[in-house]
Structure formats: C-alpha cells, structure tokens
Structure 1
Amino acid sequence: MPTPQPISSLTIHLTPEHLGFLAYLYPKEDPEDALIKLLDSARTRAIRRAEQQVRVLHLDQEQAEDQEEDPEESVSLSADVVENPIGALQELCQRQQISMPRYEFEVIPEGFRCLVLAMGLRGVGEGRSKKQAKVMAGHCSFKK
C-alpha cells in the first residue's frame, strides 16, 4: 500500500452561506483567516476529545475481564519506575500523538506549587523551586 503524501495545496469553494457563517463567527477577519481559525478550532477540539479518551493503565492495575482486546498499545505507568517524570510524560504524549503536558505554577509561602495536565492525568506538586515543584507534579500524575 503506498504511503500517503502530504497535501501541498488545497482548494476550498465557499458558498455565500459559508461566507456568511464565517463572517458571523469571526466578524473582524477576512474569509480566508476566518476559515483558518475555524479549522484550527475544530482541530483543537478533536485533539482534546482524543486526549479525554486515552486510557492510562498502571502496572498494578488489572484490566476488566469483560473488556475487549484493544488493538492499540496500552500505556503503562508506575510511579516507582519513573525516574524522570517530566520526560516520561512528554514521551507518552509524543507516542500517543497528542498535545504536550500543560504546567501551571502558583507561588506559595513554601516556594511553588505546580499543576500538570496531560492525557487525562492530573498531578500537583510543591517545592522550593519551580523545577522541584514540576518534578513532584510529574510524579504525582503517575500515581493512581
């Protein structure tokens, strides 16, 4: 089977109804920019929906007996095995071809608090530095 080639050009014909819809959604944009924004928005929504459907299995978690065999490779995680949680999260996201982890920081009296969101995983960590808080959040995201 031949490998698909990337599209180098694409022609889209818009009806007056399409143009009206784009003008309604993005009144300050020209039709081409409005269409690009609409497509980008749809792509982002599709990626977020896909991220919510990713199941993460921990090493000590048993699969339900009635669960069908999934042809896709399951992602296995263990907090004990992960030495570099930041890198491990990034590798998992790349392997699953989804957006990279998002980190949010907050200043607290003890230093910093970090929230990480990736593949439906959520982790919160605290530390004296942003890096330490980020690592702790990464470890926390791998726990059940």
Structure 2
Amino acid sequence: MKVFDGKKIYELWVKAWNEDVSVLDEITASDCRVHQARTDGKTSDELKGLEALKGIIMDGCSFFNDVKMTIEVGPIVDKSYVAARWKFTGSYKGGMQGAKAEIGEKMSFNGMDILFVEDGLIKDYWVSSDGVSLMEQLGILS
C-alpha cells in the first residue's frame, strides 16, 4: 500500500500539465475514471485509465503554446481527496474549429479539480472549468 501524500500527487498533476504527462505513469490507477463535461458524447465509463487522463492533458494543450497551469487555491487534502483551483494560460496557436482568435493571442481561464486517491494512485478525476470564458476568448461564443 502506497503512502498518501495528496499535496505531492497534486504537484505531479500540475507538472504533467506544465512539463511532461509521463509523470502520471507513477500516480494513476489503470482503471482511473475521468468525470468531465464533454462535447464528444463520451461518458465517465468510457474515459478510463492512464491514457484517457494523458489524452485530456494533451488535447487541452494542443491548441496553445507556452501553456502554464498554476495553482490559485490549494491543494486541499481531505482524507483520500485532493482539490485545487487552478489557472490555465497559453498563447493560441490555431487549429481549433470555429475559433476566430488571432494566432499568438494570450488566453486564460480557471477551473477546479478533485482527485480521489487510493493506494497512492488517482482513481477518479473530476474537473470543472470555465470553458465559456475560453470559448468567448477564442471567438467561438460572443
């Protein structure tokens, strides 16, 4: 049984966004479930495991250069749960369907994560972010 260090796990989570998703290899359960509002019709039962978690990060970063995720509140640790509020910033690099933003335009939006950790591994991941603000900045919503 791995020792639970919620703050360390969240530090590695942020590192996955800012540097290298491979750090998730050591902190993610093979059956980890992703709970996220999606536009592709997939459900939490379909979004499972290390590759799903890595995919969310890689997809989220794919339209931006200079990605930086910073912690604004937390991490807050309560038993097997870790929560934090974050800020995502980056420069739009193009390619998002329907986006009217100029390439190089700076974007930022906020969100919150909750991780359920068991035996030192992320078993569940919930995310809630201000996607409306991001879509407005991209010119997708007016």
Tell whether the structures are fold-level matches, with TM greater than 0.5. Answer: no
Which structure ranks higher in relative contact order (CA pairs < 8 Å, sequence separation ≥ 6)?
A: 2
Q: Please give the TM-score of this superposition, normalised by the length of structure 1.
A: 0.30
Structure with greater Cα Rg: 1
Q: Please give the TM-score of this superposition, normalised by the length of structure 2.
A: 0.30
